[in-house]
Amino acid sequence: MKERPFPRQVRQLAPDESFQFRCHAGVPCFNECCRLLELAISPYDVLRLKHALGLTARQFLNQYAVVEQAATGGFPLVYLAMLGDSRGSCPFVAEQGCTVYEDRPAACRAYPLGRGTFRTASGEIQNIHVLLAEPHCQGGHEDQRQSIDCWETEQGLDLYNPFNDQVVAIVQHDRLRQGMKPSEAQRQLYLATLYDQDGFGQSILQAAGPAGQDLSALEKQALVADSSALLAYGFKWLTQELFNSGG
């Protein structure tokens, strides 16, 4: 695969390449990576965080997220809202570490790796991994080597990556590459389906919209009771609704 140009502190890793890193409360930079961030959050990130906090998706988005329209005219981008303190801290960081650690976003789990995902001309989802060597981070000096696969498994990314790949399948869909620009209604549908997950589930139960018309009443109830299954259905339904296709 052809290497892509990256900033000096970012290096692409070969698929079988290991890297040196360990993070723990004893490193002098502990919590420094939780400040001054532009942290994009995916639908699955929201699903995990809102459950951890005991909020609905809409409550979480109102309290902890910033929604920005893509400069390219594509679908909206959702970011975690940082605190207005002097350091732009994550709202979930405390002196002892992350207060939502078990449900932290994928980007936090992956660090110091970055996972770049793209859709090929044939529609296949592929990814590359990069290693970030930021000046503040001392974890790269720890005496422990990691493989990409073991690190991602250890950090629980096996649950996150498949959902995040489905985001890529939508935002890099062939129709968009061919020049389609989502309408305002389509951009709002993207947010309502993938990010306002509780609202989407209620619309299915109440037959308030086109979603779920292919399901029986029992199937609807089972789907809404399983948040991961509901999100997976949302991706499938939204793809069909936006592009009139199954993929």
User: pTM of the full predicted structure?
Assistant: 0.93
Domain membership of residue 215 as a residue range:
179-243
First to last CA, the chain: 25
At 1 the pLDDT is 46
At 5 the pLDDT is 66
At 89 the pLDDT is 96
Is residue 35 domain-resident?
yes
| 131, 113 contact by CB (below 8 A) | yes
Please indicate, yes or no, whether residues 95 and 185 belong to a single structural domain of this protein: no
At 241 the pLDDT is 96
- pLDDT < 70: residue spans in the chain: 1-5, 245-247
Please indicate, yes or no, whether residues 225 and 120 belong to a single structural domain of this protein: no
Token readout for 214 is 């292919």
Phi-psi region of 197 (alpha: psi -120 to 50; beta: other; left: phi over 0): alpha
- Of the three residues 171, 194, 218, the one that is the final residue of a domain is 171
Angle between helices 43-53 and 227-243 (to 10 degrees): 150
The span from the CA of 101 to the CA of 30, in Å, is 14
Angle between helices 227-243 and 217-225 (to 10 degrees): 120
At 73 the pLDDT is 81
